[in-house]
A and B are shown apart, each in its own frame.
Chain A
Amino acid sequence: MSDEEHHFESKADAGASKTYPQQAGTIRKNGYIVIKNRPCKVVEVSTSKTGKHGHAKCHFVGIDIFTAKKLEDIVPSSHNCDVPHVNRTDYQLIDISEDGFVSLLTDSGDTKDDLKLPTDESLLKQIKDGFAEGKDLVVSVMSAMGEEQICALKDIGPK
């Protein structure tokens, strides 16, 4: 998929901005940051100086929250970085279709059918097995910068 397309989408989406500027010095470990136009979770921050008597700069190591790729960036700590707006929504799992799509129940009672199951084998198995056992499963869907993905799974027990 092309990042450019999403970018245009986000510009058109008035009101709910996809990213916010934030001073690099205030971004900490476990927070989020946009590196190379990808939403990342920060797993490491370190500071250093530019030259002996220069100003501080921050070195970020982030993991793309969707693709799990590792990305790095260096920003002067008084400058601004983009921070993605990461949202999570819980849906009840209604069905898993043959082609790997899931059917989810939204708060308003509609169904949401455009999400694919994770591709990773073990995760897939966890969901499928749980569903097959007839457990009541709630999935958390994480969305940021126009992408979304299942990020967590919770057994809410028998009704």
Chain B
Amino acid sequence: MQGFSDGGADLGQLQTTMRNIEVACTSIQMHINPAAAEATILSLSQSPQPYMACRFILENSQVPNARFQAAAAIRDAAIREWSSLSTEERRSLISFCLCFVMQHASSPEGYVLAKVSSVAAQLMKRGWLDFTEAEKETFFYQVNQAILGAHGIDVQFIGVNFLESLVSEFSPSTSSAMGLPREFHEQCRTSLELNYLKMFYCWARDAALSVTNKIIEPNAVIPEVKVCTAALRLMLQILNWEFRNDTTSMKAGIDVFSAGVRHDNGSSKRSECVLVQPGPAWFDVLISSGHVSWLLGLYAALRQKFSREEPYFLLWIDPPDVVSKAIEEGKSESEMLDGCRALLSIATATTPFVFDQLLKAIRPCGTLSLLSTLMCEVVKVLMTNNTDEETWSWEARDILLDTWTILLVPTDGSGGDALLPPEGKHAAANLFSMIVESELKVASASVTNDDGDSDYLQASISAMDERLSSYALIARAAIDVTIPLLTRLFSERFARLHQGRGIIDPTETLEELYSLLLITGHVLADEGEGETPLVPTAIKTHFADIAEAEKHPVVVLSGSIIRFAEQSMDPEVRATVFSPRLMEAVIWFLARWSHTYLMPLEETNCLSNDYQQHHSVNSKKALLSFFGEHNQGQVVLDIIVRISVMTLVSYPGEKDLQGLTCHHLLHTLVRRKTICYQLVSLESWRNLANAFTNEKSLFLLSSANQRSLAQTLVLSASGLRNSETANQYVKGLMAHMTTYLVELSNRSDLKSVAHQPDIIMSVSCLLERLRGAASAAGPRRQRAMYEIGISVMNPVLHLLEVYKDESAVVYLLLKFIVDWVDGQISYLESRETAAVIDFCMRLLQLYSSHNIGKISISLSSTLLSEAKTEKYKDLRALLQLLSSLCSKDLVDFSSDSVEAAGINISQVVFFGLHIVTPLISLELLKYPKLCHDYFSLLSHILEVYPETLAQLNSEAFVHIIGTLDFGLHHQDLEVVDMCLGALKALAAYNYREICAGKTGLVSAGLGNLPEGIFSRFLRSLLQLLLFEDYSPDLVSAAADALLPLILCEQGLYQKLGNELIERQTNPALKSRLANALHSLTSSNHLSSRLDRVNYQRFRKNLNSFLNWQNKRNGWFRFLWSFLNFSMHLEALLLVV
């Protein structure tokens, strides 16, 4: 093919080249033989050193497309040959491109210029790390001159344009590929961000400023607009840069501006606003230089110039009422939303105090007041047209709520709430009352639109949660006003309910109460998220002047809600007022409230600090101790327990409500020891325990609630002072279950009665309870649970036999045993362990005998897939059981060791695996969770007890190896990782055995295996590493598995290596491959031992081998013929 190399180029040759390219470009445009034309163009960019020709074309060609292609060719060739170009050549290429664009700035073919300037940008980036600062300075001086406007508008535009290309090249998301590692791009990006970005920004701003005056003049369209647009675009692009190095590397910046600038960007956003995050170092440029006002002015002026409308959007959001009215009357809302976003952006960069001060200079009141008024207006609009459509007011509300959240969320990590100036507090209070009013209105209006299905409490809370917690922040900012407000709203509604009972339909009021309860719950207490939440700081620090606990506003509010809740005990009131939905909110509130206020941990700490006779401490103490153990706490606890029992008994079939009571409220109560102490002495708690064992109605709870209730009751035993009474208590709770199960399993007519629905229901119910209790076994209650478990062992086996076709019962049986063994195993003495293990093995065998070879037959595909899912769940439970048994070797609290009693855990687990694995088909391993469990168990076992694998029979062995092979090719990284771990353990064990002169795994009782599992794995692992796509994260694990495999099968490895080398035709590459393969096994002093050091060396070797191999990927890939090669080997192995 014809090349366009510069070697000895004379003018004639250059002109020929140019003509060729021009012809090619034209023929492409005219669709004449495009393939040949493309080949001509391609040959230009692929020929070595085509720069002269390209320059010639750029400077002389009359065909713009030819010039474009020439620029592209420069780029391709230079990137390809960069490392072989001299510094001088590199520099001259860039400056040629830059000069070219500057000189031709007025050329009408913009796309050619854009291409050339992007080529310059790419080459600049390519050489970024090689050029000295001085060299870069030279380039940028040129650019800066252009941007300053020294050479006219067109050049100015080109300069800005070049910077835009440059910035987008340096931003990883928009950079073009250069065939270099990611580190290169990262380094470039960091360097630009730290050293140049701000400077570029200033240049762009100055460029824009320099033309602003001309643009604002009410003339027709002028060329300056082009510059201004480009400059603004560049500024926007820079602000959208993903800043990384903001805080740490810019110490100086922080010191200067830390007073006014916040450093958190972690809070979540509802509104999709792009937030600028350039970091504090940009403060001077962005905030203090006053160019925001210039930008606003420009915006206003442009609007005026181009659309000639009323000037009310000079400040788009002020005055808010006028703005919102205008929008409702049909004006565009986009300025208003932009204004809201601007407020949000300002809020992210400032503290509340600074935020409030911002507008003080030009307005009588602070920004907070403006924000509050603005949001009030938005909420008002929301209230008047309450539709499901997402209107502008929704969006505005979300943005403004975000603004409040950003301002009010505590930033210093101490949990202290942000303090607002008095005026700000007033604003927050106004806003909160407006919000509550609107929420109440929405609530009462929602009664009529009856879409009951979507109104489950949890769902509505989590959907509203973010909004509610923002509301809570606003309320807490003005807590002394908002708490009394809530109290008043509650008492109004209570009164309304009472007066109107039986006369007026209460639904609207109920719905309002529902909303109020959710809001108040959020204001008074935090969620905790697994931790014990403290009383919010705002509530602790305010109300300093209140010394009497009864008058503390929070006490008054809580008290009124609790008294209201207590009325639900009256059946008549319950029937008319306490609908299941309202009751859900009540229970939710009680759970959240009691987690924070009922017998709080802080109470004790607070009392011990008695010497601090300060007002605020007094009021805080009053609040904390009011619901403490020595005050009203017990009374309130009693009320809460009685209400809980009532919801469980008197709301039959209300699963959601009962679920909240069991999982949320009761669970919260038993989580704290102080409460447990009180609980066990309460009459009402004893009643609950009694009802649990005796009352029919509690047998009707749904399964999850059943389990949770049993767990809660057992957990409350931690309130008993010693373990003897605790065990006694648990036994008392559980006796009815064990008796029933033992009696049932001893019935002679068990087989015929067992399948009666009522019996199935009782059995399931009791098993759920047992399971719940088993999962609550702690050290103190372990004895009792152990005895309970032992007493039902035989019944469990009987039931498993009888219910073998009742998958739901089987699963419950298995889950109970899994949870029970998990809770018990580490405490058991060796004799007990033996009994438990024996039992588990019988269970496994029984299960396996029922299910092996069984085929479900059903016409319904749904039922068949259900059956498969059930099987998967069973197997997963069995694997968990084996894992628990395994853990005995790791965690053991018993006094004697298990080995003393002659128990070998490894054998037990292998035996179990032996029983279970035939049931686990490759089909079932497609369930990700099962797959994960299976391989984690397998790799654990193989790592800890590789020797026992040899004791499996060949069928089981082959099955396990087959699954390992399956796992190696799995998509899930973790699974592959675990398989590699297992493989490493196996091969290492085998190698050690062989070194010790033993036979190793291959021949140990596995005579009839297909020869050499290790050679098979060696081959498939090499295949994976060399020819398949795999995650780089796996290389270390693969190295660890590969080393022992190579050591086990050195002969085969040599053969494979030689084959690889032989396949290589290029002699130079052949020798390099040979070297690489050689250094894989010999460099870094790799020895043939399997110790940590050696593994590490091999990891390094493999890494460098693979890096080398990846670089050569181009030619290496053709070795896909490896496929042939491995087939060839397969044949070879068969012959041998």
Do A152 and B854 touch across chains, with their CB atoms under 8 A apart? Answer: yes
Considering residues B446, B507, B653, B752, which has the most beta carbons from chain A within 10 angstroms of its beta carbon? B653
Considering residues A19, A123, A150, which has the most beta carbons from chain B within 10 angstroms of its beta carbon? A123
Of the residues A23, A31, A118, A155, contact of B857 by C-beta under 8 Å: A118
Assuming the A-B contacts A48-B453, A49-B455, A156-B853, are A22 and B862 also in contact, with contact meaning beta carbons closer than 8 angstroms in the complex?
A: no
Do A20 and B757 touch across chains, with their CB atoms under 8 A apart? Answer: yes
**Cα–Cα distance between A155 and B918 once the two chains are bound (Å):** 14
The interface-forming segment of B246-254, B575-583, B986-994 is B575-583
Render A43-64 as a binary contact track against B, CB cut-off 8 A, 1 for contact. 1000111111111101000011
Tell me the residues in window 17-75 of chain A with beta carbons closer than 8 Å to chain B beta carbons. 17, 19-20, 22-26, 28, 30-32, 41, 43, 47-56, 58, 63-65, 67-68, 70
**A: number of interface residues (CB 8 Å):** 56
Assuming the A-B contacts A23-B653, A152-B805, A152-B857, are A49 and B452 also in contact, with contact meaning beta carbons closer than 8 angstroms in the complex?
A: yes
Tell me the residues in window 652-688 of chain B with beta carbons closer than 8 Å to chain A beta carbons. 652-656
**Cα–Cα distance between A51 and B1068 once the two chains are bound (Å):** 82
Of the residues A26, A30, A55, A154, contact of B870 by C-beta under 8 Å: A30
Do A78 and B653 touch across chains, with their CB atoms under 8 A apart? Answer: yes
Which of chain B's residues have a CB closer than 8 A to the CB of A123?
857
Considering residues A48, A53, A151, which has the most beta carbons from chain B within 10 angstroms of its beta carbon? A53
The interface-forming segment of A5-13, A82-90, A97-105 is A82-90
User: In the assembled complex, how far is the CB of residue B707 from the closest CB belonging to chain A, in whole angstroms?
Assistant: 12
Tell whether A120 is near chain B: CB-to-CB under 8 Å: yes
Tell whether B385 is near chain A: CB-to-CB under 8 Å: no
Which of chain B's residues have a CB closer than 8 A to the CB of A25?
652-655, 700, 702
Do B858 and A68 touch across chains, with their CB atoms under 8 A apart? Answer: yes
Of the residues A47, A87, A151, contact of B755 by C-beta under 8 Å: A87
User: In the assembled complex, how far is the CB of residue A1 from the closest CB belonging to chain B, in whole angstroms?
Assistant: 16
Assuming the A-B contacts A20-B756, A26-B700, A26-B761, are A43 and B857 also in contact, with contact meaning beta carbons closer than 8 angstroms in the complex?
A: no
Do B703 and A28 touch across chains, with their CB atoms under 8 A apart? Answer: yes
Do A78 and B863 touch across chains, with their CB atoms under 8 A apart? Answer: no
Tell whether B511 is near chain A: CB-to-CB under 8 Å: yes
Which of chain A's residues have a CB closer than 8 A to the CB of B856?
151-152
Do B755 and A85 touch across chains, with their CB atoms under 8 A apart? Answer: yes
Do B579 and A22 touch across chains, with their CB atoms under 8 A apart? Answer: no
Assuming the A-B contacts A26-B761, A68-B858, A86-B755, are A54 and B452 also in contact, with contact meaning beta carbons closer than 8 angstroms in the complex?
A: yes
Which of chain B's residues have a CB closer than 8 A to the CB of A68?
858-860, 862-863
Do B808 and A30 touch across chains, with their CB atoms under 8 A apart? Answer: yes
Do B853 and A53 touch across chains, with their CB atoms under 8 A apart? Answer: no
Considering residues B446, B452, B703, B858, which has the most beta carbons from chain A within 10 angstroms of its beta carbon? B858
Which of chain A's residues have a CB closer than 8 A to the CB of B752?
16
Which of chain A's residues have a CB closer than 8 A to the CB of B859?
67-68, 118, 120
Tell me the residues in window 725-763 of chain B with beta carbons closer than 8 Å to chain A beta carbons. 752, 755-758, 760-761
Tell whether A126 is near chain B: CB-to-CB under 8 Å: yes
User: In the assembled complex, how far is the CB of residue A26 from the closest CB belonging to chain B, in whole angstroms?
Assistant: 5
**Cα–Cα distance between A70 and B866 once the two chains are bound (Å):** 14
**Cα–Cα distance between A156 and B848 once the two chains are bound (Å):** 12
User: In the assembled complex, how far is the CB of residue B926 from the closest CB belonging to chain A, in whole angstroms?
Assistant: 21
Considering residues B853, B857, B866, B870, which has the most beta carbons from chain A within 10 angstroms of its beta carbon? B857
Nearest B residue to A67, CB-CB: B859
Tell whether B900 is near chain A: CB-to-CB under 8 Å: no
B-side interface size class: 35 or more
Considering residues B447, B757, B863, which has the most beta carbons from chain A within 10 angstroms of its beta carbon? B757
Do A83 and B757 touch across chains, with their CB atoms under 8 A apart? Answer: yes
**Cα–Cα distance between A140 and B757 once the two chains are bound (Å):** 19
Do A153 and B808 touch across chains, with their CB atoms under 8 A apart? Answer: no
User: In the assembled complex, how far is the CB of residue A131 from the closest CB belonging to chain B, in whole angstroms?
Assistant: 13
User: In the assembled complex, how far is the CB of residue A98 from the closest CB belonging to chain B, in whole angstroms?
Assistant: 21
Which of chain B's residues have a CB closer than 8 A to the CB of A156?
853
Tell whether B807 is near chain A: CB-to-CB under 8 Å: yes
**Cα–Cα distance between A19 and B511 once the two chains are bound (Å):** 41
Do A43 and B757 touch across chains, with their CB atoms under 8 A apart? Answer: no
Render A102-143 as a binary contact track against B, CB cut-off 8 A, 1 for contact. 000000000000000010100100100000000000001010
Do A47 and B857 touch across chains, with their CB atoms under 8 A apart? Answer: no
Which of chain B's residues have a CB closer than 8 A to the CB of A41?
863, 866
**Cα–Cα distance between A16 and B511 once the two chains are bound (Å):** 49
**Cα–Cα distance between A25 and B700 once the two chains are bound (Å):** 8
**Cα–Cα distance between A158 and B527 once the two chains are bound (Å):** 62
User: In the assembled complex, how far is the CB of residue A64 from the closest CB belonging to chain B, in whole angstroms?
Assistant: 8
**Cα–Cα distance between A68 and B861 once the two chains are bound (Å):** 8
Do A24 and B653 touch across chains, with their CB atoms under 8 A apart? Answer: yes
**Cα–Cα distance between A2 and B611 once the two chains are bound (Å):** 87
Of the residues A77, A79, A126, contact of B654 by C-beta under 8 Å: A77
Do B450 and A51 touch across chains, with their CB atoms under 8 A apart? Answer: yes
Assuming the A-B contacts A43-B862, A88-B805, are A55 and B653 also in contact, with contact meaning beta carbons closer than 8 angstroms in the complex?
A: yes
**Cα–Cα distance between A87 and B752 once the two chains are bound (Å):** 9
Nearest A residue to B805, CB-CB: A88
Which of chain B's residues have a CB closer than 8 A to the CB of A31?
760, 808
Which of chain A's residues have a CB closer than 8 A to the CB of B862?
43, 63, 68, 70
Nearest A residue to B657, CB-CB: A56
Do B507 and A153 touch across chains, with their CB atoms under 8 A apart? Answer: no
Tell me the residues in window 425-467 of chain B with beta carbons closer than 8 Å to chain A beta carbons. 446-447, 450, 452-453, 455
Tell whether B134 is near chain A: CB-to-CB under 8 Å: no
Assuming the A-B contacts A152-B857, A153-B857, are A52 and B455 also in contact, with contact meaning beta carbons closer than 8 angstroms in the complex?
A: yes
Assuming the A-B contacts A48-B453, A63-B860, A67-B859, are A53 and B580 also in contact, with contact meaning beta carbons closer than 8 angstroms in the complex?
A: yes
Which of chain B's residues have a CB closer than 8 A to the CB of A150?
857
Of the residues A47, A50, A85, A154, contact of B853 by C-beta under 8 Å: A154
Assuming the A-B contacts A53-B580, A56-B654, are A84 and B757 also in contact, with contact meaning beta carbons closer than 8 angstroms in the complex?
A: yes
**Cα–Cα distance between A16 and B756 once the two chains are bound (Å):** 9
Do A23 and B652 touch across chains, with their CB atoms under 8 A apart? Answer: yes
Tell whether B1135 is near chain A: CB-to-CB under 8 Å: no
**Cα–Cα distance between A52 and B579 once the two chains are bound (Å):** 9
**Cα–Cα distance between A103 and B858 once the two chains are bound (Å):** 20
User: In the assembled complex, how far is the CB of residue A83 from the closest CB belonging to chain B, in whole angstroms?
Assistant: 4
Do A55 and B580 touch across chains, with their CB atoms under 8 A apart? Answer: yes
Do B510 and A53 touch across chains, with their CB atoms under 8 A apart? Answer: yes
Tell whether B855 is near chain A: CB-to-CB under 8 Å: yes
**Cα–Cα distance between A157 and B857 once the two chains are bound (Å):** 19
**Cα–Cα distance between A64 and B862 once the two chains are bound (Å):** 11
Do B853 and A26 touch across chains, with their CB atoms under 8 A apart? Answer: no
Do B755 and A50 touch across chains, with their CB atoms under 8 A apart? Answer: no
Of the residues A20, A53, A83, A157, contact of B582 by C-beta under 8 Å: A53
Do B758 and A140 touch across chains, with their CB atoms under 8 A apart? Answer: no
Render B87-123 as a binary contact track against A, CB cut-off 8 A, 1 for contact. 0000000000000000000000000000000000000
Of the residues A28, A49, A70, A151, contact of B702 by C-beta under 8 Å: A28
Which of chain B's residues have a CB closer than 8 A to the CB of A151?
805, 856-858
Do A26 and B855 touch across chains, with their CB atoms under 8 A apart? Answer: no
**Cα–Cα distance between A56 and B655 once the two chains are bound (Å):** 8
Which of chain B's residues have a CB closer than 8 A to the CB of A56?
580, 653-656
Of the residues B655, B702, B757, contact of A22 by C-beta under 8 Å: B757
Nearest A residue to B759, CB-CB: A20
Nearest B residue to A32, CB-CB: B757
Which of chain A's residues have a CB closer than 8 A to the CB of B761?
22, 26
User: In the assembled complex, how far is the CB of residue B865 from the closest CB belonging to chain A, in whole angstroms?
Assistant: 10
Nearest A residue to B867, CB-CB: A152
**Cα–Cα distance between A47 and B130 once the two chains are bound (Å):** 68
Can you report 21 residue pairs joining A to B where beta carbons are below 8 Å apart?
A20-B758, A24-B653, A25-B653, A25-B702, A26-B700, A30-B807, A43-B863, A47-B655, A49-B452, A52-B446, A52-B581, A63-B860, A68-B860, A77-B655, A83-B757, A86-B755, A118-B857, A123-B857, A142-B805, A150-B857, A153-B854
The 4 A-B residue pairs whose C-beta atoms are closest, nearest first, are A77-B653, A25-B653, A53-B579, A68-B860
6 new A-B pairs (CB below 8 Å) besides A26-B702, A54-B579, A123-B857?
Answer: A22-B758, A30-B870, A63-B863, A79-B653, A126-B855, A153-B854
A interface residues with partner B (beta carbon < 8 Å): 16-17, 19-20, 22-26, 28, 30-32, 41, 43, 47-56, 58, 63-65, 67-68, 70, 76-79, 83-88, 118, 120, 123, 126, 140, 142, 150-157
